[in-house]
Amino acid sequence: MAPELTYRDDFSSPRDRAAVYRLLRDVFDVDVSPLEEMGLSDPTYRAFSYLDDGGCCVANAATFTLSLILDSRPVTAMGIQSVATRLRWRRRGLSHDLLERALRWCDASTRLVLLMTSIPGFYEPLGFKIMPQFAYAGYAPTALPPLPRCRRLDLDAGEDRQLLAKLLRRRVPVSALFAVNGSPGAFALNVLDHKEFSVWHSAALDAVMVTAERPDDTLCLVDIAASKMPNLADVLAVLGVRPRRAEVHFPPDLLGWDGTAVPTETPTVLMIRGDPGSLEPFMIPETAAF
């Protein structure tokens, strides 16, 4: 560590949080302030940081508690995120040092740590392995008799943001085979950041559905936040669509529909440190990316 830097691993003060948030904005162009406005900040988020003598965060790595459903079992893992270093401070070993500190923290409470990255080679020496991800694709089911149509949310509107936050707080896991259980902040931040997603609210299903455009006659269902998982036919009914095919970005065991697992490329790869056991093909939806 450079002598002019101060190490911190306490995220409780507003000053420290603001310093980390500025780093994420400057390095990744990510604004996390909406999470505080929506009441969806993760209380388990812990930042491991170096600050300069002016209080500017120059390097950071963070951990958070990641609740999973693995083969119908609740499993508590840890996630790594917010790994960033300002340009002039790179190549000094700061990120590696902070990651080792973060992993010691994780290893004290769990044997399973996950992260998502575009530079997997950086993390492989730390014991992380790439996990392939699979979407599910197949012929779409026949829509049931018409249900009241859903409404596309305007996530620039405060009222719709609060509606989304309310549903996220009571959502159930999307799958009994593999699912991220909870993490409402990640869902909100990702749909706010990915303008190519369409976010729909169905009062009839008490659900929010996230879809993405596809060039052919295919419905791409990215994620669902619901108090009770609907079947895919009901989703098609409230969306008012009759596609020929469906593509789902999570295991569809609770959708009343079977698709074929298809290897899928994503902007970042999923890496796991530890043994998750034998898993069916799965995918962490882009809405749950971290």
Range of the domain at 122: 6-132+267-278
* 175 located within any domain: yes
Same domain as 168, residue 121? no
pLDDT, position 1: 56
pLDDT, position 234: 96
CATH number at residue 94: 3.40.630.30
Same domain as 107, residue 10? yes
Same domain as 216, residue 204? yes
CATH number at residue 170: 3.40.630
pLDDT, position 108: 94
Q: What is the pTM of this model?
A: 0.93
pLDDT, position 251: 97
* 285 located within any domain: no
Same domain as 212, residue 171? yes
pLDDT, position 146: 82
pLDDT, position 195: 87
Same domain as 185, residue 98? no
Same domain as 165, residue 114? no
Using 50 as the pLDDT threshold, list the residues of the chain that sit under it: none
SS (H, E, C) the chain: CCCCCEEECCCCCHHHHHHHHHHHHHHHCCCCHHHHHHCCCCCCCEEEEEECCCCCEEEEEEEEEEEEEECCEEEEEEEEEEEEECHHHCCCCHHHHHHHHHHHHHHCCCCCEEEEECCHHHHHHHCCEEECCEEEEEECCCCCCCCCCCEECCCCCHHHHHHHHHHHHCCCCCCCCEEECCCHHHHHHHHHHCCCEEEEEECCCCEEEEEECCCCCEEEEEEEEECCCCCHHHHHHHHCCCCCEEEECCCCCCCCCCCEEEECCCCCEEEEECCCCCCCCCCCCHHHCC
* 1 located within any domain: no
Same domain as 149, residue 99? no
* 160 located within any domain: yes
